[in-house]
Amino acid sequence: MIVEIDPHSGFCFGVTSAIRKAEEELKRGELCCLGDIVHNGQECARLEEKGLRTIDYDDLRTLHHARVLLRAHGEPPSTYWIARQRGIEIIDATCPVVKKLQDRIRACYEQHRMDETQPPQIVIYGQRGHAEVIGLQGQTNDTALVIESADEIGKIDFTRPVYLFSQTTKSVEGFQQLVAAIEEAISRQKSAVRLEAHDTICRSVANRVKQLEEFARAHEVVIFVGGKKSSNAKVLYGHCRAANEHTWFVSNEEELTNEMLAACSEAEHVGICGATSTPLWLMERCKKRIEKWNTTKSKQ
Ligand code: SF4
């Protein structure tokens, strides 16, 4: 049995640099992080052991002169405003790709918001309530409409121009389906309304889908390691599972059941992969557990 870790899996550069920043800043003293630094409980626990304190918005409103790290997902303008009011030092680890998207949405909002004849409609294709989406909505004074899939286009007002953007971790196919559904609805209503669709999906995630599908097909059994709170993990796991039905989702090595371990030991090629929020060390632990189980079994 050969167990291989997918070389393309693991943290994207946005998450890697946020974690690096947290580790550097922890050397300077106490540091809080607004929300989980990454949607992976094990990695959060590792950094908490080094002194990182994870806080929520209620905590933020009670802090004074603390140092608070903003994670890769980014934050709405209201967070910076609260920090200023409370003398909080912001360590901004917003991913540059997310930052650029926030700027584009804000520029679009500012450019069109005074147009009384055709007030704009900024639509964000994303997961309602996701931290990145909250940060994006904040750029429009919370006026942007969030659509999770093409099934929800009934919420769009087709008498107003539509400016469509995407959360960085959504799927390219889902975005294309949404654009096609909106175009069809516009032509059905014989409306002359304008659609401006901006594909703002991060290619560091989008390219992973194809690589991951190939990886899943090249292995008989696949163990996908990801955090239960990670939307990126759910999406990527779905692609793996569609490419290879012998794919299991686990959050850590302890979740590897006897059924999974037995399936691995019967295979010649076992693949371990993960999301953009999965640390390499966690995939390595899963690999070790599978190999150890296999060695013990073969001695029996
Ligand atoms: S997925 Fe892309 S946009 Fe999101 S944090 Fe990672 S690098 Fe940045």
Q: Where in the chain is the domain with CATH 3.40.50.11270?
A: 13-94
Task: From 187, 177, 208, 183, select the one nearest 195 (Cα to Cα).
Answer: 183
Q: Report the nearest-CA residue for atom 2 of ligand 1.
A: 202
* Predicted local distance difference test score (pLDDT) of residue 3: 97
| In this structure, CATH architecture of domain 2-10+203-299 | 3-Layer(aba) Sandwich (3.40)
| In this structure, CATH architecture of domain 97-197 | 3-Layer(aba) Sandwich (3.40)
Could you tell me the mean pLDDT of each successive run of 10 residues in the chain, 300 residues long?
Answer: 94 92 96 93 92 96 95 97 96 98 96 79 95 97 95 92 94 94 89 90 85 96 91 88 97 96 96 92 96 85
Task: Report yes or no: 80 and 57 within 8 Å, Cβ to Cβ.
Answer: no
Domain 13-94 classified CATH 3.40.50.11270?
A: yes
Q: How far apart are CA 138 and CA 136, in angstroms?
A: 5
Report the nearest atom of ligand 1 relative to the CA of 98.
3
Helix (H, G, I), strand (E, B) or coil at 188: helix
* Reported pTM: 0.85
Q: How far apart are CA 95 and CA 92, in angstroms?
A: 9
| Residue of 30, 132, 184, 213 marked catalytic | 132
Q: Where in the chain is the domain with CATH 3.40.1010.20?
A: 2-10+203-299, 97-197
Report the nearest atom of ligand 1 relative to the CA of 13.
7
* Predicted local distance difference test score (pLDDT) of residue 37: 94
* Predicted local distance difference test score (pLDDT) of residue 24: 97
* Predicted local distance difference test score (pLDDT) of residue 229: 78
Task: Using the mean position of ligand 1's atoms as its centre, give its distance from the Cα of residue 144 in Å.
Answer: 21
Instruction: Write the burial class of residue 116 (CB in 10 Å: 0-12 exposed, 13-18 middle, 19+ buried).
Output: exposed
Amino acid at 137: Q
- Indicate if 259 belongs to the active site: no
Task: Report yes or no: 74 and 104 within 8 Å, Cβ to Cβ.
Answer: no
* Predicted local distance difference test score (pLDDT) of residue 135: 98
Q: How far apart are CA 233 and CA 229, in angstroms?
A: 8
